[in-house]
Amino acid sequence: MVTTDLGPNFSLIDGGPARNTLRRLKLGQPLSNAALLRNAGILILLTWLPLAVLTSAQGLALSGPAIPFLKDISAHVRFLVALPIFIAAEGAIGARIRVTIAHFVLARLIREEDQERFGQIITKAIAWRDSRIAAFTLLAIVVLASWASARQGLGTGIPSWYVPSGSGALSLAGYWYAFFCLPILNFLILRWVYRLIVLTVLLRQIAKLDLHLMASHPDGTGGLAFLGRILPVFGTIVFALSAMISARIATRVLFGGTDLYDDLAALALVVVLELIIFAGPLMLFMPKLYALREEGLRRYGALGTRYTRLFEKKWFHGGASDEPLLGSGDIQSLADLANSYEVVHRMKIIPAGMNDLAFLVVPAILPALPLAATVVPLSELLKNALKLIA
Q: How far apart are CA 211 and CA 14, in angstroms?
A: 27
- The pLDDT assigned to 5 comes to 63
pLDDT band at 378 (very low <50, low <70, confident <90, very high): low
The reported pTM is 0.85
Beta-bridged to residue 160, according to DSSP, are: 67
pLDDT band at 1 (very low <50, low <70, confident <90, very high): very low
Identity of residue 31:
L
**Low-confidence winner among 76-85, 150-159, 234-243, 272-281 (lowest mean pLDDT):** 150-159
Q: How far apart are CA 160 and CA 65, in angstroms?
A: 5
User: Do the beta carbons of residue 247 and residue 373 sit within 8 Å?
Assistant: no
Report the alpha-carbon angle 100-101-103, nearest 5.
65
59 backbone φψ class: left, alpha, beta (φ>0; ψ -120 to 50): left
- The pLDDT assigned to 290 comes to 95
pLDDT tens-digit series, residues 332-341: 888 888 999 9
pLDDT tens-digit series, residues 168-197: 678 899 889 988 999 999 999 999 999 999
pLDDT band at 69 (very low <50, low <70, confident <90, very high): very high
| CA distance from start to end of the chain | 67
Q: How far apart are CA 99 and CA 124, in angstroms?
A: 18
Other CB atoms within 10 Å distance of the CB of residue 317: 9
Q: How far apart are CA 304 and CA 243, in angstroms?
A: 53
Q: How far apart are CA 84 and CA 39, in angstroms?
A: 8
Query: Which one of 155-169, 284-298, 361-375 scores highest in mean pLDDT?
Result: 284-298
- H/E run at residue 4: none
Question: Does residue 381 carry a pLDDT above 60?
Answer: no
How much is the mean pLDDT over the chain? 84
pLDDT tens-digit series, residues 3-40: 556 667 788 888 766 666 656 655 555 567 788 888 89
